[in-house]
Amino acid sequence: MVVVMSADATEEDISHVVERVESVGGSAFVSKGVVRTIIGLVGDIDSFHGLNLRTMTGVADVHRISDPFKLVSRQHHPDRSTVWVGQGEHRVPIGPDTFTFIAGPCAVETSQQTLEAVEMAKAAGATIMRGGAYKPRTSPYAFQGLGEEGLRILADVRTVTGLPVVTEVVDARDVPVVAEHADMLQIGTRNMANFGLLQAVGDAGKPVLLKRGMTATIEEWLMAAEYIAQRGNLDVVLCERGIRTFEPSTRNTLDISAVPVVQAKSHLPIIVDPSHAAGRKDLVVPLSRAAIAVGADGVIVDVHPNPEQALCDGPQALLGSELRALAQAVRQLPPAVGRIS
Ligand code: PEP
Ligand code: MN
C-alpha cells in the first residue's frame, strides 16, 4: 500500500501516519519528493484497512498495490488449477492441459428436447452437458424453467449419455436440490454479485461455474470467486459471457482479452460462452475459434434440436452446419495451440 500525502502536509501529519501504521505492527517508509511525500507501507494489508488512513489530515490518497483477492490469486498459487466435473469414470477435467467442450440446450423444456439436444452435443464432441432448469428471465412472464422436474430430466439424460451436468441455480434456497442432481452449479451473470448465493454454492460441495456479471470488472468477478473459495470450495471455473457495451450488433460484447487477463491474475480455469455473448448463432463458431486461439480452457455453447420452437434463446442455438463447423473447430484447433483436447 502507498499513502500519498497532500502538497501542504506537515511533518506532524507525516509522523501521525507513520505512528498509526506502526501501531498495528506495520513498517512505513517515507520518501520525500520536491512537492509531495509518499509513504510505502509494508505488513499485513488487512490491518491497514482498519486504520482509515484516507481520513487522516494531510493524506491525499491511498493506493493498493497487491490484488484484493487471495485464495483465487495466482500470486500464491502459480500453477493453474484443473477442476474435475462428474463422478467416477465420467469425470471430466477443465484446466490448462485440456480443452473442454460443454453444450446443451439453454433451457430444459421436455425430456425429449433435452435428450435430443444432448445427443447432438455429444455427437459433436461435447463431454459435459448444460441445460437450465431454473431460468433467470428478464421478464416475469417468460418461461421460468421446469424447476425440480427439469433437474430430474437432466439426471435422466446423464444416465443415458454419461455426460456430467452443469445447471444454473438462481436462489440460495434451491442450492441443496440442485446440488443433489447436478455435477456442477452455475451462477449466471445476473447473480454474480449475489453474495449470499455465492456463499451457499461455496458450501454445497460441488464445482461451480461462475459467469461474469454483465457489468462487472474482472476484479469484481474474481472477488465473487473469492466468496466461493472462502467457504472452502476452490473448484471454481470462470466463464466470460460478454459484457454490456454501447454496441447493439451483438447482445453483449465478448471481452476476449478477459481470458489472458484472468489467467495472469488467477489460477482458476476460464471458459468462454460465445452463445450468450453474441445472442446470434452465426457468431458462435468464429467466437469459439477466437476463444480457443486466445487460450480459453473450454467453451459452453447452446444447441437445440428445433431452435425455432425453443422457449429460450432460440436465435443463438446451433444445429446442422454450424454445429458441424463447431465440432471441427473444437477438434482441430486446441491441439494447434498446444492443448491436448
Ligand atoms: C445461461 O447460460 O443459460 C445463461 C442464462 O447465461 P448468462 O447468465 O450468461 O446470461
Ligand atoms: Mn440462455
Domain boundaries in the chain?
2-63, 83-337
Taking the CA of 188 as reference, the closest ligand is 1
Cα dist from 149 to 121, 136, 194, whole Å: 22, 16, 25
* Residue length of the chain: 341
Q: Is 274 in the pocket of ligand 1 (CB under 6 A)?
A: no
Contact between residue 106 and residue 132 where contact means Cβ atoms under 8 Å apart: yes
Which residue in 45, 58, 44 sits closest to 16, CA to CA?
A: 58
Contact between residue 227 and residue 194 where contact means Cβ atoms under 8 Å apart: no
**CB proximity list for 309: less than 8 A, separation 6 or greater:** none
Other Cβ atoms closer than 10 A to 8 = 10
Residue numbers in the chain where pLDDT is lower than 50? none
Phi-psi region of 222 (alpha: psi -120 to 50; beta: other; left: phi over 0): alpha
Q: Is 197 in the pocket of ligand 1 (CB under 6 A)?
A: no
Q: Is 211 in the pocket of ligand 1 (CB under 6 A)?
A: yes
Which residue in 30, 26, 32 sits closest to 51, CA to CA?
A: 26
List Cβ<8 Å contacts ≥24 apart for 53-57.
53/3, 53/17, 53/20, 53/21, 56/13, 56/16, 56/17, 56/20, 57/9, 57/13, 57/16
Q: Is 310 in the pocket of ligand 1 (CB under 6 A)?
A: no
What's the CA gap between 281 and 32, in Å, rounded?
59
Which residue in 302, 296, 309 sits closest to 338, CA to CA?
A: 296
**CB proximity list for 196: less than 8 A, separation 6 or greater:** 172
Helix ranges, 194-240 (H): 195-202, 218-230
Helix, strand, coil shares of the chain as percentages rounded to 5?
40, 20, 40
What's the CA gap between 220 and 263, in Å, rounded?
15
Contact between residue 319 and residue 307 where contact means Cβ atoms under 8 Å apart: yes
**CB proximity list for 161: less than 8 A, separation 6 or greater:** 115, 118, 119, 122, 129
Mark 64-93 as b/e (b = at least 16 C-beta within 10 Å). eeebebebbbbeeeeebbbbebbeeeeebb
Q: Please give the distance, rounded to the nearest whole angstrom, from the Cα atom of residue 29 to the centre of ligand 2.
A: 52
H/E run at residue 151? helix 148-161
**What cell numbers appear for 11 in the block?**
511533518
Contact between residue 186 and residue 175 where contact means Cβ atoms under 8 Å apart: no
CATH number of 83-337: 3.20.20.70
Q: Is 106 in the pocket of ligand 1 (CB under 6 A)?
A: yes
CA 208 vs. chain centroid, Å, equals 9
Would you state the pLDDT for residue 341? 56
The angle subtended at Cα 293 by Cα 291 and Cα 297, nearest 5°, is 55
Would you state the pLDDT for residue 331? 96
Would you state the pLDDT for residue 10? 96
Q: Is 241 in the pocket of ligand 1 (CB under 6 A)?
A: yes
Q: Which CATH architecture has domain 2-63?
A: 2-Layer Sandwich (3.30)
The residue to mutate among 128, 276, 312, having the most atoms of ligand 1 within 8 angstroms of its beta carbon, is 276
Contact between residue 252 and residue 243 where contact means Cβ atoms under 8 Å apart: yes
